[in-house]
Amino acid sequence: MNRWGIHAPNNARPRSMGEFFDAGVANYTVLHGNESLIPEIRNRYPDARILVRMYLTEWDERDPAEWSREIADFMNRVRPFTNEVTWANEQNLDIEGHPQAASPAQPIPPASLYHDINKWNVEMIRRLRETIPWARLHYPAFANDHSDDKNQGGYVGLEICRPGIQAADVMDCHVYWRVDDGPLTLDGGQRFVLTHNFFPDKPIFISECGNFAVRDPRSPEQYVRWMHSLYHYPYVEGATFFIWDSDGAAENAPNVIVESGALVRALRETSKADPVELPPVPESPPPIFVSRPVPTETPAPATVSVGEHEYIVRSGDTLLMISKRFQVELIQLMNLNAISDARKLRVGQRLQIPASTVPAPVPVPAPTQPVPTVAEPELVVTGGAVYVVKGGDTLGAIAMRFNVTVSAIVAANALPNANVIRPGQRLTIPKPAMVLRVAESAATASASRAAAGVLGVGDPNTPVVSSGEIADFLAGKRTMFYITRKGDTISRVALLFHIEPLVLSQLNEVGMNGELIPGTRLIIPMK
């Protein structure tokens, strides 16, 4: 899989079009102001991924209804060439507009910033799903080092923004490293691993990357080594080096690729095939288990010392769950207990609860009880989605809108009759069990052609999908991952996708014999 990519210039057409197009990469990020480049790239590389970056400053002052309409108009124009789009950029950085965002005077923004980001993005996603349901939505990347992923705020930003990130199709990341450190440190070029650790089921696209030192003689080798390191991670779809050529922002000058002939040659001449030998990478951090089942019982009063406002951590607890239980800001809870990383919580640990909070925990509802919401939107993301049926809806139209199969919705909702639904009925739209991608050439793309979508039901105990259903759904599409169901074996999955079982077994490092554990993610080779 060709993960190589280039970010097109910010404000102008490249000065060296030949070298830009001759790099032979398969991923491109293009600002919407450079719309004319999109059909050119598609004509030159019919199978390339082209991410449209709708650049926006002062995002918090824009009405999501207005901005989503502008995006829909733009994406409908370029639909013959691409279906991938993101609608903002580094929203936790002050130059993107929000008054509470990170700045030299305030490197760590308050948690309230991320609440604003999440609320705005959830509304954007809801509206984009309505206006361009065929589009593949990339959640806007955060700027590094500003509590989005690691520093003294731990994982505050990512956790607060979880509803929006889960609602998007892809998580975009920006990855930069210091030239003196090299690209293989977890704090630098491998930083995206931290985000993946928090969202293990979300594909990642790295829409910006580099070292802001293109003239350094070490850069050509570092850029190649960093790109080769991505082949360790099946969940990374691609990466676009920032930035090919820019006549705009002065702060980007140290990262302009065309200013280094050696770097241009390295990007053009290095083979884009999978590397024979992968570079070493730092050890990944331990997994973060954030999607545990909600306890069915309220914690026993004995675990809470009301007088001392102390809570003893139980099995299955996360810091976010505890903060919600006691109605206290997550960042406040972390500061009081000197917790620098929200992941590092252990059973039996004693946590001080701020005295201003309620003296006893808020009861946690059982899974069968509805969770109250202030203003319930049409689209509620928790792992799947909830759709409220409207007058005139059919199950077929709903399935087409969300790019799932009718049988998947029937199975997820235990519907007795696929032809009978009623206005106001709430339907669970299954969590994606397969991540699919379309790369259509400009000559064959049309408005009626199916967009990239998902197939099946995420719950591993749901019925196994039939080979005929897969064949119909995969027409014109390419697979990347498959989530196993109850009863799946390597041989059966290989047969469904017309792959040699031994190849599938070796690629995923799973045995040939016996049933696969339900919920196992299998890489399906690109055709």
3-state secondary structure 127-171: HHHHHCCCCEEEECCCCCCCCCCCCCCCCHHHHHCHHHHHHCCEE
Domain over 380-523 is classified CATH 3.30.420.40: no
- Provide the pLDDT for residue 380: 32
Domain over 301-352 is classified CATH 3.30.1280.10: no
CATH code of 5-269, in short, is 3.20.20.80
- Tokens linked to 412: 């997820």
Query: pLDDT above 70 covers what percent of the chain?
Result: 71
- Provide the pLDDT for residue 246: 81
Check if the beta carbon of residue 206 is closer than 8 Å to that of residue 192.
yes
On average, the pLDDT of the chain sits at 76
Of the candidates 240, 224, 324, the one whose C-alpha atom is nearest the C-alpha of residue 52 is 240
Banded pLDDT at 32 (limits 50, 70, 90): very high
Check if the beta carbon of residue 154 is closer than 8 Å to that of residue 343.
yes
- Provide the pLDDT for residue 294: 35
Integer Cα distance of 469 and 33 in angstroms: 40
331-340, pLDDT tens digit by residue?
667 767 777 5
Banded pLDDT at 453 (limits 50, 70, 90): very low
105-137, pLDDT tens digit by residue?
777 777 788 889 999 999 999 999 999 999 999
3-state secondary structure 364-410: CCCCCCCCCCCCCCCCEECCCEEEECCCCCCHHHHHHHHCCCHHHHH
- Provide the pLDDT for residue 63: 96
Helix (H) or strand (E) holding 336: helix 330-336
- Provide the pLDDT for residue 449: 30
CA angle, 504 then 505 then 511, to 5°: 160
Integer Cα distance of 436 and 426 in angstroms: 26
DSSP string for residues in 441-493: -TTT--TTS--S---S-SSTTSPPPPHHHHHHHTTT-EEEEEE--TT--HHHH
Stretch 153-158: mean pLDDT, rounded?
Answer: 62
237-288, pLDDT tens digit by residue?
999 999 998 866 788 889 999 999 999 999 999 999 999 999 999 887 766 5
Q: Which of 56-65, 205-214, 231-240, 465-474 has the lowest mean pLDDT?
A: 465-474
Same-fold call for 5-269 versus 380-523: no
- Tokens linked to 492: 């059966």
Extract the runs of DSSP E, i.e. beta strands, from 37-161. 49-53, 84-86, 136-139
What residue segments make up the domains of the chain, in order of their start?
5-269, 301-352, 380-523
Give how far Cα 355 sits from Cα of 125, 151, 308, 332, Å.
Answer: 38, 26, 8, 11
Stretch 431-439: mean pLDDT, rounded?
Answer: 30
Banded pLDDT at 355 (limits 50, 70, 90): low
- Provide the pLDDT for residue 302: 30
* Helix and strand totals (H; E) in the chain: 16, 17
Stretch 192-204: mean pLDDT, rounded?
Answer: 88
Q: Is the pLDDT of residue 184 over 90?
A: yes
Model-level pTM? Answer: 0.59
Stretch 482-501: mean pLDDT, rounded?
Answer: 80
Helix (H) or strand (E) holding 312: strand 310-312
Tell me if the bond preceding 243 is cis, omega within 30° of 0: yes
Find the largest Cα–Cα distance for the chain: 72
Which DSSP symbol is given to 346? -
Integer Cα distance of 53 and 85 in angstroms: 6
Query: pLDDT above 90 covers what percent of the chain?
Result: 36
Stretch 444-470: mean pLDDT, rounded?
Answer: 41
Stretch 501-524: mean pLDDT, rounded?
Answer: 72
**Strand order, beta sheet including 426-429:** 380-381, 385-388, 426-429
Check if the beta carbon of residue 19 is closer than 8 Å to that of residue 258.
yes
